[in-house]
């Protein structure tokens, strides 16, 4: 059996070392949305369809395996794929995800970060945007929800590009995450913007990553997280893996008595 290939997530970027003489941090310009918290029920079933991979799925021996952002397998998070590409998965429970839980994507005590980002109450989180595809027990590649947007040349000569996707996120208790933090000096800053009301269990979120490189060597990155009541995930295969180019579609079925409509 082939071993898993471990790669960096689309948003796993190099660490920038900052000199003591760097200019002061800019203040975040994003306002903190206020509650009320929308009544969004946690996902109770994860349904999906793998499309464009018929050479692996047509004989009915394929399986999918959910992975975390570091491409580590999540226990009890695999399902067989039918010949037509469909599958149904019971969301991994608390015990399965406990070893993989993390906090906010930044350290609130980091002296190079400044802003209003808070999580109340503090909860353990697990973000999922990758799934391994197996055929007859052999690892075929990784399906990702992120997709690269077209490169945009701004009017001032800047180059802008990024990714946008819908992810699943597990929270070990209901929590509110809001605000924005800017990390690093203005010349190489990264902004985290979050407006999430997470229920205990599995949630659907919208994620956008944008980076801008200007002619004067200013490099800025913006990562935005918001709730999504549309739990359908459109999954794309990584270009460097030997998979077809068509996307895979994955959906999450909610407890309809508590859900509300919406539309990463």
Residue 10 has what pLDDT? Answer: 37
Q: What phi and psi values does residue 258 have, to the nearest 5 degrees?
A: -115, 5
In angstroms, the CA 12 to CA 132 distance is: 18
In angstroms, the CA 196 to CA 205 distance is: 8
Residue 227 has what pLDDT? Answer: 93
* E strands present in 138-242: 138-144, 147-148, 152-153, 159-171, 175-183, 190-198, 201-213, 219-227, 233-237
Which positions ≥6 away from 19 have C-beta within 8 Å?
none
* pTM (predicted TM-score): 0.72
Residue 260 has what pLDDT? Answer: 29
65 sits in which H/E element: strand 62-67
- Asked if residue 204 lies in contact with residue 86, where contact means CB atoms within 8 angstroms, the answer is no
Instruction: Please list the pLDDT of the chain residue by residue as tens digits (264 residues).
Output: 444 433 333 333 232 222 333 444 444 434 344 444 445 788 888 777 777 788 888 999 999 999 988 888 999 999 998 898 888 889 999 999 999 999 988 877 788 899 999 999 999 999 998 899 999 889 998 887 766 666 777 778 888 888 888 888 999 999 999 999 999 887 889 999 999 999 999 998 988 889 998 888 789 999 999 998 777 665 655 443 333 333 444 444 433 333 222 222
Q: How many residues does the chain have?
A: 264
Strand partners, 120: 176
Report the half-sphere exposure of 230 (CA within 13 A, side-chain side).
11
Q: What phi and psi values does residue 97 have, to the nearest 5 degrees?
A: -95, -15
Which positions ≥6 away from 64 have C-beta within 8 Å?
48, 50, 78, 79, 81, 87, 89, 131, 132, 133, 134, 143
* Of 198, 250, 243, 206, the residue nearest 225 (C-alpha): 206
């Amino acid at each position: 059996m082939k071993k898993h290939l471990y790669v960096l997530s689309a948003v796993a970027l190099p660490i920038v070392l900052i000199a003591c003489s760097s200019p002061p941090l800019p203040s975040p310009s994003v306002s903190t949305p206020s509650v009320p918290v929308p009544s969004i029920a946690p996902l109770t079933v994860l349904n999906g369809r793998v499309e464009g991979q018929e050479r692996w799925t047509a004989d009915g021996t394929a399986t999918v395996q959910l992975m975390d952002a570091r491409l580590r397998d999540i226990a009890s998070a695999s399902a067989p794929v039918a010949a037509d590409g469909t599958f149904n998965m019971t969301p991994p429970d608390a015990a399965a995800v406990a070893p993989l839980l993390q906090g906010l994507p930044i350290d609130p005590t980091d002296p190079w970060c400044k802003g209003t980002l808070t999580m109340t109450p503090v909860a353990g989180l697990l973000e999922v945007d990758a799934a391994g595809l197996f055929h007859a027990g052999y690892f075929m590649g990784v399906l990702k929800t992120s997709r690269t947007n077209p490169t945009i040349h701004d009017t001032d000569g800047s180059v802008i590009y990024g990714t946008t996707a819908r992810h699943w996120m597990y929270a070990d208790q209901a929590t509110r995450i809001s605000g924005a933090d800017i990390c690093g000096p203005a010349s190489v800053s990264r902004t985290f913007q979050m407006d999430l009301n997470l229920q205990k269990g599995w949630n659907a979120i919208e994620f956008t990553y944008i980076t801008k490189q200007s002619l004067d060597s200013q490099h800025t990155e913006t990562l935005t997280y918001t709730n999504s009541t549309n739990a359908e995930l459109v999954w794309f295969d990584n270009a460097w893996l030997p998979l077809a180019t068509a996307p895979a579609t994955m959906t999450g079925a909610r407890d309809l008595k508590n859900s509300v409509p919406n539309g990463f």
